Amino acid sequence: MRTQSMHFKARAGQKLADARLQNNLKKLSEKFVTARAAAITEISDFEGTRSAAVERRNRALEQLDLWLETFERNARARGAHVLYAGTHEEATRLIVDIAKKHNVRKVTKSKSMVSEEVQLNTALSAAGVQPIETDLGEYILQINDNEPPSHIIAPVIHKDKEEISALFARAHATERKTEITQLTREAREVLRGHFLSADMGVTGANFLIAETGSVAIVTNEGNEGMCTIMPPKVHVVLTGIEKVLPTLEDLATLMRLLPRSATGQPISNYLSILTGPRRDDEPDGPEHMYYVLVDAGRTGLLGSEFQEMLRCIRCGACMNHCPVYQKIGGHAYGWVYPGPMGSVLTPSYVGLENALDLPHAATLCGQCSVVCPVKIPLPDLLRKLREKQWERHLRPWYERVAVGVWAFAATRPAIYALGARVAARALNWMGGSAGRIRHLPLGGGWTATRDFPAPSGRTFRDLYRERRSGQRAA
């Protein structure tokens, strides 16, 4: 996916002006936020489970090389191939080569954000292989001219039923349907043909299990099973190297948190744990199984002050609860991962200089870290990215000047007191009798949407000094 993160401000502005999108985004708080709040009360010790999940993810990451080797050994023992890709291009080249080797013409895909990251569909199409998205949301986006997802688990959250209904009628050349069940039946009928005629299935991975060499995949639609167990000869798992867990015990802990944090479900409709290709005594499964494990910036976070970001289990809770994401949706962020987790990942993976606004596009309200099932301190990480930008002089000159002038005064109490006194008077005068400023010089960002309540006119330090001398005189 091409990075558009440099245009965050302009894109966010467009999204704010899109009344339909604004209405569709209400689903986030109405559905996900409410459902999660109810779901976390269903387990007796949600906070304790979070702490346990943090420990288990940390254990995996602290010796990631060891667990990857363990995973690789066990996956190979069960007949799977394990390949590593340092870059996006390497990942797509490996998968295109696999497709060529097995004479693949059609690929069915289960949802994978890493496939968005490496732009797999573009690479497959260029190689003459037809990729078919089978997650309903991803399928909708694919038939809408390969529109990118706007959310990591609800890719089509930005659209409403009417838009999808019109799109289906257009793309499928069918009569317009009005009921959701009619629409899903129509999608199912189209996809069934693809499932039966595909040669290869590509899935993501929610987790890799080192001790068994397995992949764990969560879906609600069961489409993953159709991509991997049904006809395809080849199953390719495409995921990031950080997704490994040492044991099935770890998976059990994380699965208590993942669906609850994501959609408020106690458990997803489907959870598949797949281990190697079909064996002789097994009735189904692919003939060949490959893992393509992508680095593409991840080892750069290991051992750094951003390592905690690698704990992320891609539940989407941070964006569901983010006041900024709730107002602008995912497309404004301009790359694969939106919301708070995306504002940390995007600068980390595509370069700080290519995503200047993202670390600042947050109120630092802290709600994301409150709901994160693996307690990633997202506001702290955003602030650390701001520090990196400051150190590298990536912020505009006027910000440096503003902070510099302010810091100069704030460390010199006499100058500061004078400045505060003058500012309080001047702004009070500007507020006039209504006590409100409608246009604030240098603060146009504020006064475009709200008044600035005018200061009372005197500073506290002046009033307090007067009060004290009055008391002494009396």
Partner 1 sequence: MRVALFVTCLVDAVRPEIGLSVVKLLEASGCEVVVPESQTCCGQPAYNSGDSAAARVLAEKVLREFDSFDYVVIPSGSCGGQIKVHYLELFRDHPDLKSRAERLAGRMFELTDFLVNVLKISSVPSEFAGHITYHDSCCGLRELGVKRQPRALLDLLPGVRITEMSGCEQCCGFGGTFSIKFGDISGAIVDEKCRNVNATGADAVVLGDLGCMLNIEGRLRRTGDMRTRVLHIAQVLAGDA
Contacting residues toward partner 1, per CB under 8 A:
9, 12-13, 16, 29, 323-324, 326-328, 357, 360-367, 370, 380, 383, 386-391, 395, 399, 403-404, 406-407, 409-411, 413, 416, 420, 423-424, 427, 436, 438, 443-453, 455-456, 458-464, 467
**Residue 19 vs 173, nearer CB to partner 1:** 19
Q: Which is nearer to partner 1, 178 or 411 (CB)?
A: 411
Nearest distance, CB of residue 450 and partner 1, angstroms:
4
Q: Say whether 95 sits in a helix, a strand or coil.
A: helix
Give 203 or 367: the residue with its C-beta nearer to partner 1. 367
CA atoms of 62 and 50, how far apart (whole Å): 18
In whole angstroms, give the CA distance from residue 131 to residue 119. 11
The least distance separating partner 1 from the CB of residue 401, rounded to whole angstroms, comes to 12
**Cβ closer to partner 1: 188 or 436?**
436
| Closer residue to partner 1, CB minimum distance, 166 or 423 | 423
* Choice between 271 and 420, CB closer to partner 1: 420
Least distance from C-beta 113 to partner 1, angstroms?
24
Q: Name the minimum Å distance from CB 407 to partner 1.
A: 4
CA dist., res. 166 & res. 174, Å (int): 10
User: Strand, helix or coil at 207?
Assistant: strand
Q: What is the nearest approach in angstroms of partner 1 to the Cβ of residue 12?
A: 6
Q: Compute the distance between CA of residue 67 and CA of residue 56 in angstroms, rounded to an integer.
A: 12
Contact 70/246 with Cβ under 8 angstroms?
A: yes
DSSP single-letter state for residue 177: P
- Please answer whether residues 263 and 153 qualify as being in contact, where contact means their C-beta atoms are separated by less than 8 angstroms: yes
- Of 185 and 438, which CB lies nearer to partner 1 in the complex structure? 438
Minimum CB separation from partner 1 for residue 370, in Å? 6
Distance CA 353, CA 180 (A): 43
What is the closest distance, in whole angstroms, from the C-beta atom of residue 466 to partner 1 in the complex?
A: 11
Handedness of CA 333, 338, 340, 343 (dihedral sign): negative
293 contacts 84 by C-beta, under 8 angstroms: yes
Cα(367)–Cα(323) distance, integer angstroms:
9
**Residue 5 gets which letter from DSSP?**
G
Inter-residue contact 201 to 115 (CB < 8 Å): no
**Residue placing its CB nearer to partner 1 in the complex, 158 or 314:** 158
Rounded CA-CA distance 405/412 in Å is: 11
Three-state DSSP class for residue 238 = strand
Beta carbon nearer to partner 1, 90 or 451: 451
Instruction: Give 283 or 445: the residue with its C-beta nearer to partner 1.
Output: 445
The nearer residue to partner 1, 176 or 392, going by C-beta atoms, is 392
β-strand pairing of 81-85 with 200-203: unpaired
Per residue in 114-123, is it b (16+ CB within 10 Å) or e — as a string? bbbbbbbbeb
Give the closest residue to 195 by CA, choosing from 230, 168, 238: 230
Question: How many C-beta atoms surround the C-beta of residue 134 within 10 A?
Answer: 27
Q: Which of 293, 292, 281, 279 is nearest to 79 (CA)?
A: 279
Q: Give CA separation, 6 vs 12, 79, 115, 323, 352, in Å.
A: 11, 44, 22, 21, 10
- Nearest distance from C-beta of residue 449 to partner 1, angstroms: 3
Smallest separation, CB 325 to partner 1 (Å):
10
The distance of closest approach from Cβ of residue 214 to partner 1 in the complex, given in angstroms and rounded to an integer, is 38
Report the C-alpha gap between 98 and 410 in whole angstroms. Answer: 62
- How far apart are CB 412 and partner 1 at their closest, in Å? 8
